Amino acid sequence: MTDKKSVILTYLFSLIGGLFGLHHLYLGRTQHAILWCTTFGGFGLGFFYEFFFLINHYVHEANEDQYIIDKYKLKMIQRKSPSFEIFRFCGQFIISIFYGFITFYAFPDTWHVQPLLSLFSGSCSILAIAIGTQMVGTVGPRQCSFLWPFLGALLGLPFINASSPSFNLSAFLCSLFFEWKVEWNPTYFSELTITKSKESQCLKSTKRKRRHFIRRCLSYGFCIMLFSALFTSALYQNLQVDIKGQRVKVKDVLNDFFKSQEFILLYQQLFNILRQLWIFYLRYGVKGIWTQIWMAFDSENEKQAYETLNLHYDASQKQIEYQCRTLSRQWHPDRHRDVKEKQKAENIFMNIQQACDRLSNERKRRQLLNTQKRENP
């Protein structure tokens, strides 16, 4: 394997974005990265545990070091299927409940009291529970048909109802069915040959092709966007705030706001601004819009320039040029002999020159804008 992963870079990515699975994405463990991002680093505990105890192992596994392959080869020879891991089983149970909970409450309350819609939301929750169990269970050289955790989760569907939904039984059965049918994944490493002397059989895995980094990022991004949509919907549907001693759902507050006269007026004003901006764009193009934006941001500096020259804002161009010549002669540094006065004069002279240049540039911009208006009436 030529693309060797660095332990230092892995620790660095873990420090920068470990809670979002950035180091797992770097190591090619996209599934683990998605788990970490959707559970906020395994609810914090998983991130700290792997940072101190597991990152070196992950790097050696990603690099397919020989002693790692020999270790798993020995395990595969000694046991037909992976041994039961209590920590992994607990992780499957907790994460599957979390996924099912988020998915169930992402749907509106009105769906849970209608038979067909309630069945649909419950089925989606069952699917989310099975996905959570499958993702945690297949981290590493393990595999299992998705059918078995899905069947286990499906047995708990009657307990997911609108009045008091319970995801515990569904998540437990889902994890139990997975552990019952889990087996080794011989294609996890690029090349792995296992010989069983008793049966005189030789099992050689096919070479696993790691997905390109861009494809991994796209898969990661799609899953995170899907989870974010469900999580945001769950917050919107159920989050409550305290208003004058009463608990009110955020969605009710937002609905009232969107129906209020203040929002309607704000929407109309924003719509008029956008319409005027579009009309202005059609007439003067992007260059005209940029000129207007520059003038708007530069108006304060223009005001300061008039104050520096002791002029009113409506001063004519002749008055500006006359004041520039007069003040430049008055505060020219060569007219002052004293060191302190000379330094003071230099500062004032520079301010005068900047103010004159600014007003001159402003006049040119206005002439350009007027020319554009005449050419595109």
pLDDT in tens, 133-152: 999 999 989 999 999 999 99
Which residues does 97 contact at the CB level (< 8 Å), separation at least 6?
Answer: 129, 132, 167, 168, 171
Residue 77: how many CB atoms within 10 A of its CB? 14
Has residue 192 got a pLDDT over 60?
no
**What is the predicted pLDDT for the residue at 69?**
87
Confidence of residue 298 (pLDDT cuts 50, 70, 90): low
Confidence of residue 194 (pLDDT cuts 50, 70, 90): low
Has residue 370 got a pLDDT over 60?
no
- Dump strand ranges (E) for 294-336: none
Contact predicate 192/73, CB 8 Å: yes
Lookup result for tokens 């069983």: 196
Could you give the angle at the alpha carbon of 287 between the alpha carbons of 284 and 292, nearest 5°?
80
Has residue 377 got a pLDDT over 70?
no
Q: Are strands 240-243 and 201-204 parallel, antiparallel or unpaired?
A: unpaired
CA–CA dist 294, 70 (Å, integer): 67
Comparing 243-252, 291-300, 348-357, the range with the smallest average pLDDT is 291-300
CA–CA dist 295, 172 (Å, integer): 65
Contact predicate 56/173, CB 8 Å: no
Has residue 197 got a pLDDT over 90?
no
Residue 55: how many CB atoms within 10 A of its CB? 19
Has residue 199 got a pLDDT over 50?
no
Contact predicate 86/136, CB 8 Å: no
**What is the predicted pLDDT for the residue at 198?**
42
What is the separation of C-alpha 42 from the centre of its chain, rounded to a whole number of angstroms?
Answer: 17
Comparing 74-78, 138-142, 246-250, 357-361, the range with the smallest average pLDDT is 357-361
Residue 135: how many CB atoms within 10 A of its CB? 22
**What is the predicted pLDDT for the residue at 175?**
95
Average pLDDT, the chain: 84
Contact predicate 288/280, CB 8 Å: yes
Identify the residue with better confidence: 307 or 153.
Answer: 153
- Dump strand ranges (E) for 224-267: 240-243, 246-249
**What is the predicted pLDDT for the residue at 294?**
67
Q: 45: closest CA among 84, 6, 95?
A: 95
Please give the average per-residue pLDDT across 60-86, as a whole number. 89
**What is the predicted pLDDT for the residue at 303?**
73
Contact predicate 83/179, CB 8 Å: no
CA–CA dist 144, 148 (Å, integer): 8
**What is the predicted pLDDT for the residue at 281?**
82
Q: What is the DSSP letter of 166?
A: -
**What is the predicted pLDDT for the residue at 148?**
95
Confidence of residue 316 (pLDDT cuts 50, 70, 90): confident
**What is the predicted pLDDT for the residue at 230?**
95
CA–CA dist 253, 143 (Å, integer): 47
**What is the predicted pLDDT for the residue at 250?**
82
Q: 149: closest CA among 167, 131, 161, 163?
A: 131
**What is the predicted pLDDT for the residue at 300?**
60
Contact predicate 132/99, CB 8 Å: yes
CA–CA dist 245, 356 (Å, integer): 60
Confidence of residue 354 (pLDDT cuts 50, 70, 90): confident
Has residue 356 got a pLDDT over 60?
yes
